[in-house]
Amino acid sequence: MATLAAQPYDYSLPTDGSAALIIIDMQRDFLEPGGFGEALGNDVTRLQAIVPTIQKLQQAFRDRGWLIVQTVEGHQSDLSDCPPSKRERGQSSLKIGDPGPMGRILVLGEPGNGIVPALAPKPDEIVIGKPGKGAFYATPLQDILQAHGITHLIFTGVTTEVCVQTTMREANDRGYECLLVEDGTDSYFPAFKASTLEMVRAQGGIVGWTATAEQVLAAIS
C-alpha cells in the first residue's frame, strides 16, 4: 500500500494492481462544440481543461499495467434503452437521437459519442457504453472489476455532480474504496463541482476521498 495525502484523511492506495482508473464520459458530445453539452446551453470549454490532467493519470496507470476503464453515455440507435422521460426532458435545441453536427446525439457509435482524441483508449483498454448516469446500471462494469480483482477506484471525468458522482455512489454501495481526483473532474457549473467534492468527503468520507492528481501521482510513484 502507498499512502496518499487526501481529504478527509489519508487514502491507502494498493500498488499490486487492485486499483483501477475510471474515466467517466470524456466524449465529444459533452466536450466539443456541436454536441449535447452545448445544445443544453453550456460552455463546453470548461470541461476541456481537465484533459491534460487525466492524460497524466492515464499514462501512469498504463506504465504500470493497471486497469483503466472508460465510459461513454449513449443509447442504441433505435433508442430502445432511452426512457421517453429522459429524451423529452428539458428544452434543448437537440434531443437524444436527433441528428447534430457530430452525428446523432448520444447514440453509440456516432462520431460525437466517441472519446476525445487526447484520451483515446488503447485497443486492449476497456470502454463501456452506459444508458444511464451511473456506470454500473445496465453495464458489465461490476463483472469486469471483479474479474480483475479490483478493490479501489480512482475517479475522473465529467460531469462531477451527475455521472461521476452517481457512479461513485454506486461503487461505494458495492464496497469499493473510492477517490475522486479534484482537478481530474469538472462541471459546467463550478458551484456544483465544489458542492459535490464537499458531499463526497463529508462525515469522514461518507462516499469516499478526494485528492489532486499530483497527490495521486506522488503516491503511485
Cβ atoms 72, 129 nearer than 8 A? yes
Active site residue 133: no
Query: What is the secondary structure of 150-185 as a DSSP string?
Result: --EEEEEEE-IIIIIHHHHHHHHHTT-EEEEEEEEE
Cβ atoms 96, 36 nearer than 8 A? yes
Q: Which of 95, 163, 178, 186 is catalytic?
A: 163
Calculate the alpha carbon distances from 162 to 73, 185, 192 in Å.
12, 11, 9
Active site residue 25: yes
Active site residue 130: yes
Please calculate the CA angle 74-41-28 and round it to the nearest 5 degrees. Answer: 35
Cβ atoms 29, 37 nearer than 8 A? yes
Q: Which of 29, 82, 95, 130 is catalytic?
A: 130
What totals of helices (H) and strands (E) does the chain contain, helices first? 9, 10
Catalytic residues: 25, 130, 163
